[in-house]
Amino acid sequence: MQQELKSLFAEIVGLNNVIDDPALFGPYTDDFTDHYVSKPLAVVRPSTTEQVSKIVKLCAQYNVPIVTQGGNTSLTGAATTYRPDAEIVLSMTKMKNVIDADPLSDTLTVQAGMTLAEVHEAAESVNRFFPLSFAAEGNATIGGCCACNAGGVAVLRYGTTRDLVLGVEVVLPDGRIYNGLRRLRKDNTGYDFKDLFLGSEGTIGIITAVVLKLFPGCERKRNRFLLSEQYSGCREASEPIQDESRFFSDSF
């Protein structure tokens, strides 16, 4: 059954995008901590939402669990399989396309496999700024950021990832595709299904594309350092800086 399933995966994504050689598993099965190491049935790398949908339907038919993986920057084992040779890693790293970059609406629509650094570059290409940022942005994917509702260093000003997403496209557990790629900022109609998936860790659907909020580009940046023996002193010293640059500061 395993070989039959791998052949069916290959029919969907191509033979080169089904990895079943343990010698090639490293980047997909070793957690950033090197504490969690897994042995999946295969690593499958789709490049379109339709391929993800077909893979999910196939896994549902054969009762094979799926672990969706972005940049594999987790420190908790959340993106590694549990049972050896019984689960697949669904790697989103091939889904890297910019679907739409619109400076008029200040939105960026991208596939979920783009790294956060690549999202920054796409925003800068239209003279805009996407504020989510943290140390692993060169590897972490935007889909993973959405799935775990990442915070980052600018969370005090811009909020978590949930506050930076306008719409999502998701493959549901039965393979159906939910298309909620809306760019409308004032959308008060019906239920906000988007927020069900943001922070869900992939438990109720696989995020395949997102619409992100952009902000005006910043021409100049300044860093300031405060040293204090006590936290309360640091807070007091930061108040005049906040008053001076309240509308421009990213984080404190």
Residue 196 CB burial class (10 angstroms; 0-12, 13-18, ≥19): middle
**What CA–CA distance (Å, rounded) separates 163 from 236?**
28
* Helix (H) / strand (E) containing 119: helix 116-124
CB 214 within 8 A of CB 128: yes
pLDDT in tens, 90-145: 999 999 999 999 999 999 999 999 999 999 999 999 999 999 999 999 999 999 99
pTM over 0.85: yes
Residue identified by tokens 């019984």 is: 86
DSSP 8-state code for residue 141: B
